[in-house]
């Protein structure tokens, strides 16, 4: 694939609402040289920058991206603008004309993208990133190249000849070696050296780890011997016989305890078991014993509780029996003294009958008196008609004979006797209840006791025997638990020691076997293969870099004469110095890059002794030579210069006009300048065929084109 | 695309013929080879690290 052969170049510009320019302004580049003339603030720079903004957008409007100080707080649209900012560049392209338009809405935020559109011949329209891709594909410059080879800003002019990187890149571009230079930069940025470093680091680390691994068996051996010595086992003792003896004792101890706490010896391996088997058993054994001890402890607590309850029951039964017997005696004595409850009840019934009879007799006589008193004849008995003059007195007398006082006294006597009987009855019944309760308590205690005892346990001594047996069993369980606890502690220590002895055995074996070489490991061989691959890769990259530099060097030699002539010619044109060879390019190759220096005829760096005007002239000459070189190679070229006549006297400005006129023969040139020698020279007075635009600031503060020639 | 493999072969084959070498460099630029090569640098770096880790894993 090759670059498009047609050198794209601008034909015209249309800027709307851009910066301080009110309305729409157009510039025509068809004559090759377009000159903007105006006093300070007339809008020249705005129109020049409009070209850059149209091509590159935001990088041109930010100080950090553009590297141009005065753009630090740029406003893209003029204050009070109501319409979008828009700049269009009409371009001559292969097959016709194209229009590149960049728009930005009023009030757009910093992160909002510009609207970019490219209308190509045949009505093809590109937008967004497609536009940038198309321009790059057609060798249009990027922003960095533009700053270096297409424009003249105040900040840029010095860097072009003083900054080594800028100068070298600009000259490399002039020599047609940008491609190799960029490639070399890209390859350098790859930092393939870090692969060598990584490989070296990893290998060193592995060697160190291997060294430690080789030392480790000896270290482990010494550590194990030290720990065994702390446990009272000397290095000489820790042999096979000692290990077997300790192992036998460990197993015997375990068997004894197992028998004592009822674990049985089925869990214990035989003495002939392999080390890994009995070690596994020994590690689990403490847990087995602890589980059994926990179960025994629960059993002991239960036994203790049962014994305590039985003792309590035995202790409370005898007093209850004594109390029941006392209650029985008390009841018997009371019944003998007062009578039984039925007898006392019977007496109370008899007293009640007597009281009722007494009440009935009194009531009968009262009824008789009522009848007599209510009869029609008080002297005739209304029952038997017997006549008697004192009938009422006789009945009254009978009633009086059984007078109320006497009857009341008799009734009171009866009530008192009944009270006595009732109190006696209560005492007898209470004694009977007490006796019943005492008997019930004895019965309950006896039942409770029987429930606690094993079946068929007799009374008295047999019960005591049960209690004694329980207490003995409790003691035995308790002792078994204590024994097991002591065993577990001892077992742990013995096991630890045995494990150390086993480890020592293994460590001795390992220490006696020489370690294999690192290189014998398949994994290490694979690492070496990976490192070799990386080294090959790094070597290829280095070879590419070397090739890029060699090519740049070779090509530079071939092109240097032409570039020297070009720079020197432009420099002489501007300064009016007809002497040849005042400026030359010198290439200098280092292991990593090629740099270029501008030297004088004596071989000294030329920037070290130039005055300001010569400095500017050299910067401009370099720029023009660069543009010349691009144009000769068929690459798109366009020059935009902002007040390039600064620091130049009238003669130099006239020379500059000649140089610009020459440049305009191979590329469009847009120059902004204040009125004066350069403006005059460019606008026809010097014979140049230029289109001139006079700019001024109007009364409303907006810049505008007031005349076009 | 195996940019590295292609380039390595072509670098060896290109010899001293400037025209071929120029073409080679142009291809590299057009393929945005630098970005792909940067990925390859990382890939080799990671491969060394991983291979070294595997050796460490088997060290006694």
Q: Which spans in A378-460 are helix H?
A: 391-401, 404-452
Task: Write out the DSSP string of A580-639.
Answer: S-S-EEEEEE-SS-EEEEEE-TTSSBGGGG--HHHHHHHHHHHHHHHHHHHHHTT----E
Q: Does B41 touch chain A (CB under 8 A)?
A: yes
| Nearest CA-CA distance, residue B10 and chain A, Å | 10
pLDDT over 70 percentage in chain A: 94
Q: Is the ipTM of this complex over 0.90?
A: no
Examine the pLDDT at A345 and tell me if it is beyond 80: yes
B13 touches chain A (CB under 8 A): no
3-state SS of A308-322? HHHHHHHHHHHHHHH
Consecutive sets of 10 residues in chain B, 60 residues long: mean pLDDT of each?
52 53 59 67 90 82
Contacts of A551 in chain B (CB under 8 A): 18, 21-22, 25
pLDDT value, residue A487: 92
Chain B residues within 8 A of A525 when measuring between CB atoms:
none
Q: What is the average pLDDT across A321-326? A: 93
pLDDT classification of A584: cutoffs 50, 70, 90: confident
Q: Output DSSP code: residue A368.
A: H
CB contact under 8 A, B44 and A209: no
The shortest C-alpha distance from A585 to chain B (Å) reads 23
Percent of chain A topping pLDDT 90: 28
Cross-chain residue pair A515–B40, CB shorter than 8 Å: no
pLDDT at A367 over 60: yes
Residue A76 has pLDDT above 90, yes or no: no
Determine contact: B43 vs chain A, CB below 8 A.
Answer: no
Closest Cα in chain B, distance from residue A209 (Å): 8
B8 in contact with A at a CB cutoff of 8 Å?
Answer: yes
pLDDT tier at A175, thresholds 50, 70, 90: confident
Which superfamily does A1-140+639-653+670-709 belong to?
A: P-loop containing nucleotide triphosphate hydrolases (3.40.50.300)
pLDDT digits (tens, 9 = 90+) for A411-461: 888 889 889 999 999 999 999 999 999 999 999 988 888 888 887 777 777
Q: What is the mean pLDDT of residues A342-364?
A: 87
Task: Pick from B17, B53, B59 the residue to mutate for testing the A interface (most A CBs within 10 Å).
Answer: B59
Cβ atoms of A103 and A115 within 8 Å: the answer is yes
Query: What is residue A304's three-state secondary structure?
Result: helix
CA distance B55 to chain A (A): 5
Count of residues making up chain A: 709
Phi, psi for residue A208 in degrees, rounded to 5 = -65, -45
Contact A568, A582 (CB under 8 A): yes
pLDDT of A216 > 80? The answer is no
What pLDDT is recorded for position B18?
52
Q: Which residues of B touch A539 (CB under 8 A)?
A: none
Nearest chain A residue to B22 by CA distance is A551
Q: Is A558 touching B (CB cutoff 8 A)?
A: no
Domain boundaries, chain A: 1-140+639-653+670-709
What is the count of structural domains for chain B?
A: 1
Beta carbons of A213 and B60 less than 8 Å apart: yes
pLDDT computed for residue A243 by the predictor:
85
Q: Note the pLDDT of residue A61.
A: 76
Residue A13 forms beta bridges with which residues? Answer: A27, A89
Report the mean per-residue pLDDT for chain A. 85
Nearest residue, CB atoms, B48 vs list A179, A202, A213: A202
Tens digits of per-residue pLDDT, A372-382? 888 888 788 87
The vertex-A395 CA angle with A394 and A401, nearest 5°, equals 90
User: pLDDT value at position A624?
Assistant: 92
| More confident position, A43 or A218 | A43
Of B11, B26, B48, the CB nearest to A534: B48
Smallest CA–CA distance, residue A538 to chain B, in Å, is: 8
At A98-153, the pLDDT tens digits run 999 999 888 788 788 899 999 999 889 999 889 998 998 888 988 888 888 888 87
Mean pLDDT: which of A29-33, A658-662, A686-690 is highest? A658-662
């Amino acid at each position: 694939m090759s670059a498009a052969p047609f050198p794209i170049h601008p034909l015209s510009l249309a800027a709307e609402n851009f910066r301080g320019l009110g309305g729409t302004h157009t510039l025509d580049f068809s004559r090759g040289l377009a000159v903007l003339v105006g006093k300070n603030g007339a809008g020249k720079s705005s129109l020049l920058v409009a070209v850059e903004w149209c091509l590159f957008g935001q990088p041109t409007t930010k100080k950090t991206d553009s590297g141009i100080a005065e753009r630090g707080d740029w406003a893209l649209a003029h204050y009070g603008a109501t319409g979008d900012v828009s700049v269009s560049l009409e371009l001559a392209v292969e097959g016709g004309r194209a229009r590149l338009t960049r728009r930005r809405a009023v009030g757009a935020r910093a992160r909002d993208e510009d609207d970019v559109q490219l209308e190509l011949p045949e009505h093809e329209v590109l937008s967004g990133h497609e536009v940038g891709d198309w321009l790059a594909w057609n060798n249009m410059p990027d922003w960095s190249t533009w700053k270096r080879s297409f424009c003249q800003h105040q900040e840029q002019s010095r860097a072009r000849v003083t900054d080594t990187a800028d100068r070298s890149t600009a000259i490399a571009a002039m020599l047609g070696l940008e491609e190799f230079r960029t490639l070399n930069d890209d390859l350098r940025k790859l930092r393939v050296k870090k692969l060598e470093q990584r490989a070296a680091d990893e290998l060193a680390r592995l060697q160190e780890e291997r060294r430690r691994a080789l030392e480790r068996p000896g270290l482990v051996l010494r550590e194990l011997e030290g720990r065994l010595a702390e446990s009272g086992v000397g290095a000489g003792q820790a042999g096979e016989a000692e290990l077997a003896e300790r192992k036998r004792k460990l197993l015997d101890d375990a068997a004894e305890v197992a028998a004592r706490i009822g674990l049985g010896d089925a869990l214990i391996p035989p003495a002939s078991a392999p080390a890994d088997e009995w070690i596994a058993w020994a590690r689990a054994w403490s847990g087995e014993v602890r589980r059994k001890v926990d179960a025994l402890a629960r059993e002991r607590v239960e036994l203790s509780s049962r014994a305590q309850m039985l003792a309590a029951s035995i202790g409370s039964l005898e007093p209850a029996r004594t109390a029941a017997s006392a209650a029985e005696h008390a009841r018997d004595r009371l019944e003998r003294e007062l009578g039984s409850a039925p007898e006392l009840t019977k007496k109370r019934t008899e007293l009640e009958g007597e009281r009722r009879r007494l009440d009935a007799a009194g009531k009968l006589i009262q009824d008789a008196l009522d009848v007599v008193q209510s009869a029609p004849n008080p002297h005739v008995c209304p029952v038997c008609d017997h006549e008697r003059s004192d009938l009422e007195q006789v009945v009254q007398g009978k009633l009086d004979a059984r007078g109320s006082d006497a009857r009341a006294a008799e009734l009171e006597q009866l009530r008192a006797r009944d009270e006595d009987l009732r109190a006696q009855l209560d005492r007898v019944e209470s004694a009977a209840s007490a006796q019943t309760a005492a008997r019930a308590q004895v019965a309950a205690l006896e039942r409770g006791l029987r429930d606690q005892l094993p079946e068929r346990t007799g009374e008295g001594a047999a019960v005591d025997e049960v209690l004694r047996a329980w207490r003995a069993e409790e003691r035995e369980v308790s002792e078994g638990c204590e024994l097991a606890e002591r065993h577990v502690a001892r077992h742990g220590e013995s096991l630890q020691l045995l494990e150390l002895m086993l480890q020592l055995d293994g460590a001795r074996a390992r220490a006696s076997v020489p370690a294999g070489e690192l290189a014998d490991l398949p994994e290490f061989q694979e690492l070496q293969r990976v490192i070799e691959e990386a080294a090959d890769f790094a070597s290829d990259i280095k070879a590419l870099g070397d090739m890029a530099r060699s090519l740049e060097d070779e090509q530079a030699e071939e092109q240097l004469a032409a570039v020297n002539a070009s720079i020197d010619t432009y420099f002489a044109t501007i300064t009016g110095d007809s002497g040849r060879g005042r400026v030359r390019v010198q290439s200098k190759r280092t292991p990593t890059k090629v740099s270029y220096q501008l030297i004088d005829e004596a071989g000294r760096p030329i920037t070290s002794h130039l005055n300001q005007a010569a400095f500017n002239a050299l910067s401009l000459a370099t720029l023009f030579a660069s543009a010349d070189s691009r144009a000769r190679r068929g690459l798109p070229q366009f020059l935009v210069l902002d007040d390039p006549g600064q620091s130049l006297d009238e003669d130099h400005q006239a020379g500059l006009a000649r140089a610009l006129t020459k440049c305009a023969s191979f590329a469009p040139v847009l120059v902004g300048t204040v009125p004066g020698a350069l403006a005059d020279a460019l606008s026809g007075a010097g014979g140049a065929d230029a289109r001139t635009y006079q700019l001024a600031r109007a009364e409303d503060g907006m810049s505008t084109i007031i005349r076009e020639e | 695309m195996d940019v590295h493999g292609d380039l390595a072969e072509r670098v060896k084959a290109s010899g001293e013929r400037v025209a071929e070498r120029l073409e080679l460099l142009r291809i590299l630029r057009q393929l945005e080879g630098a970005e792909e090569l940067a990925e390859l640098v990382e890939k080799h770096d990671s491969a060394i690290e991983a291979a070294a880790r595997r050796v460490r894993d088997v060290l006694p």
